[in-house]
Amino acid sequence: MQFRSRIVGIGSYLPRKRLHNNDLQEMVDTSDEWIIERTGIRERRIAGEREAASDLGYKASKRAIKDAGIRPEQIDTIIVATMSGDMPMPSTATLIQGRLGARNASAFDINAACSGFIFGLGVADSFIRSGMSRRLLLVGVEVNSRFIDWQDRTSCVLFGDGAGAVVMEATRSKAGIISTHLHSDGRHWNLIYVPGGGSRHPASEATVRDRMHFIKMRGNETFKLAVRTLEELAVKTLKANRIKASELSLLIPHQANLRIIKAIAKRLDLPMDKVIINLDKYGNTSSASIPIALDEAVRNGRIRKGDYILLMAFGSGLTWASALIRW
């Protein structure tokens, strides 16, 4: 039987600071009721002044490595999914590698925005199936608060900070990553983006003045595309694996908007008690949202051996992705 990849350790980290909707009422023209009705979010975590992506990712990684019962030097690959890394270079993955003491690991970042963790899962699974890697650390981490325009009431209510990590190993068992499905459509890049700070608009007085270093998004258009695209992706993923929606034990969607999540569950005819939701506590943590939710589901005993789990995400790029796992 061919090798496949399996998650053998998991961990997450959330900053201590909580920013409640009532706090945002004092900052912009919004209300707790409006935010809950439109998004389902009640509060989010915000990284401390001295906390960067590598700090959050390191703490989540330590917990995942401990959960796996291994030593850092036993890891041969580290992949970090992030769009809010410490700096343009070096990669956040190498910073985490250095702090962990994972001296035998190659390390690199990927950026697929909110779909980043599942894109990373697809890359990690391919590495392990091909024999390029035998034991791998995959991290999803974001410090979105550094890129939020706190004067923009449509976007500042959405995002939070956090990190999640998994250790993956090669296995010949039936458990593990069954399939991943990765998609992109660059025609819609300008629905969610940060225009300043790159090679097209490098940092300058003008980019700072024009608030170009913050997240820009066209919410209504993004919402409509997300619902339609994720519904189609869910059906495609299940059909490709000859799995019925009723056979799923859990759906773990990207935690962006409660209305999107409910629409997908309805399309699959899944009861909401089979859907993991924690965006009310953490908001949209982008590439960190799925590993955080997965970690909580494991810790709370909601996942058992043999369960079928469907992961789904949609993000800037545009990107969208899914993964079917047998635990």
How many degrees, rounded to 5, is the angle at CA 264 between CA 6 and CA 42?
A: 90
Cα(252)–Cα(313) distance, integer angstroms = 9
The one-letter amino acid at 124: A
To the query of whether residue 284 is one of the catalytic residues in this protein, the response is yes
The Cα-based distances of 277 to 36, 169, 273, 281 in angstroms read: 14, 27, 9, 9
Of 21, 111, 114, 144, the active-site residue reads 114
Closest CA to 38 of 217, 256, 229: 256
Cα(33)–Cα(42) distance, integer angstroms = 9
To the query of whether residue 156 is one of the catalytic residues in this protein, the response is no
Segment holding 117, helix H or strand E: helix 116-130
Contact indicator for 118, 233 with CB cutoff of 8 Å: no
Cα(313)–Cα(230) distance, integer angstroms = 8
Region of 175 on the Ramachandran plot (φ > 0 left; ψ -120 to 50 alpha; else beta)? beta
Cα(142)–Cα(47) distance, integer angstroms = 9
Of 21, 156, 181, 254, the active-site residue reads 254
To the query of whether residue 183 is one of the catalytic residues in this protein, the response is no
Q: Write down the residue that tokens 């250790």 correspond to.
A: 167
- Peptide bond preceding 90: is omega within 30 degrees of 0, i.e. cis? yes
Contact indicator for 322, 237 with CB cutoff of 8 Å: yes
Region of 286 on the Ramachandran plot (φ > 0 left; ψ -120 to 50 alpha; else beta)? left
Of 111, 144, 257, 284, the active-site residue reads 284
The DSSP code for 290 is H
Cα(220)–Cα(224) distance, integer angstroms = 6
Pull the structure tokens for residue 198: 């790159």
Strands 77-81 and 250-253: unpaired
Active site residues: 114, 254, 284
